[in-house]
Amino acid sequence: MKRLTEFDQLADPTFSGAVIDWQRQHGRHALPWQNTTDAYRIWLSEIMLQQTQVAAVLEYYARFLARFPTLQALAEAQSEDVMALWSGLGYYTRARNLHACAKRVVAEYGGTFPSEPALLAGLPGIGRSTAAAISAFSSGTRAAILDGNVKRVFARVFGIEQYPGIKPVEDALWRRAEALLPATGIERYTQGLMDLGATLCTRARPDCARCPLRERCIAFATGRTAELPVRKPKKTTPEKRAAMLVIVDGGQVLLEQRADSGIWGGLLSLPEVDGHAAHDAPAPDALAAAGRFGMVEEMQALLPLVHVFTHYKLHIAPHKVALERRGAAVAGHVWWELAQIDKAPLPAPVKKLLLQLAAPNLFG
């Protein structure tokens, strides 16, 4: 008797059939990046949707295409223009990789995305799952995806008892994902898995009553949808502090160009003060730092801000500074019109702060 391989044991055409049939009747069909085989538009949506909800992406996606309708246009753009359009969407490494990827595709592939998932995965910002999705939707390639939504669906349906982020568990999920691929209909199957995770098999309060996989779902049968997938072991969230200077003069605010790497890389931001400035009063180190940019007329501590990143929490102590006389230009800093601050490539919390402070009469 022939011995069944792991692939044979995991394969189940009825699984993909159920997903495909459900997607055809109940899935999402009108998103702006659907109903196209244009790899540029598909790639753009996949990058924007990484760790970001569809509702948040829609407006950014439309603005990007209006400004950069082709891959060539994006590749030729200035970095600050790309970052400005991305401002507020978060995870800014995606924007830097997006720009770098466009340049690579133009330089190495003549402006046309390769169809092979392995080649796509070698480009900046495109991992294995994203490469498979781009290739499946643009070229019909039979390739498996395994993003966060799919991991959640698999963990519940197949009763995965370990945290999916552990490498041996993730490797096993990849093998299952490949074994479950349908012989035909890869585009609808791939979209169906995404739709299930986004609309029914959600992290909180999954809609099991409408799920096409309910009858085979171990989590549903055992009443464990709230427990699966197993959560990542909790770690204490590190907390960091930064004092920032809001230096204003003549209707302009001073902004600092951040390095390309790191948090908020490539964006403009407010000058930061070395050390930990107090929230309730101008600290000597803040006053000394402001003096680099001119003669300080007045300094005022503003209400502190808290911004939560994926890996830590940042406490921002902003200090409003009015100059009596502007000093010599300092490398890496630019003066920006407050009236145009909404167009600056700023991190979301900094832009929110400056938009509030740019209200009439606040700066005199």
* Residues across the chain: 364
Q: What is the DSSP string of 75-93?
A: HTS-HHHHHHHHTTS--TH
Handedness of CA 121, 165, 27, 29 (dihedral sign): negative
| Tokens at 87, concatenated | 């401002």
* pLDDT of 3: 66
Q: Which fold has domain 239-357?
A: Nucleoside Triphosphate Pyrophosphohydrolase (3.90.79)
pLDDT of residue 362: 46
Per-residue pLDDT of the chain (364 residues; tens, 9 = 90+): 556 688 889 999 999 999 999 999 999 999 999 999 999 999 999 999 998 999 999 999 999 999 999 999 999 999 999 999 999 998 899 999 999 999 999 999 999 999 999 999 999 999 999 999 999 999 999 999 999 999 999 999 999 999 999 999 999 999 999 999 999 999 999 999 999 999 999 999 999 999 999 999 999 999 999 999 999 888 888 998 889 999 999 899 999 999 888 889 889 999 998 654 444 445 667 788 888 999 999 888 888 889 988 888 999 999 999 999 998 989 999 999 998 998 999 998 999 899 888 765 444 4
With beta carbons less than 8 A apart as the criterion, state whether 278 and 265 touch: no
Whole-model pTM: value is 0.76
- The pLDDT value recorded for residue 1 is 54
The CA distance from 324 to 290, in Å, is: 12
Q: Which residues of 265-304 are buried (b: 16+ CB within 10 A; e: fewer)?
A: ebbbbbbbbeeebebeebbeebbebbeebbebeebebbee
Annotated catalytic residues are: 46
**CA distances (Å), 355 to each of 300, 315, 319, 360, in order?**
18, 19, 15, 10
Cis peptide before 164 (omega within 30 of 0): no
Question: What local confidence, expressed as pLDDT, does residue 359 receive?
Answer: 67
The pLDDT value recorded for residue 263 is: 83
DSSP 229: S
Compute the distance between CA of residue 177 and CA of residue 342 in angstroms, rounded to an integer: 44
Q: Are 242 and 317 within 8 A, CB to CB? A: yes
C-alpha to C-alpha distance for 65 and 44, rounded to whole angstroms = 9
Sketch the domain layout of the chain as residue ranges: 6-221, 239-357
Q: Which fold, 6-221?
A: Endonuclease III; domain 1 (1.10.340)
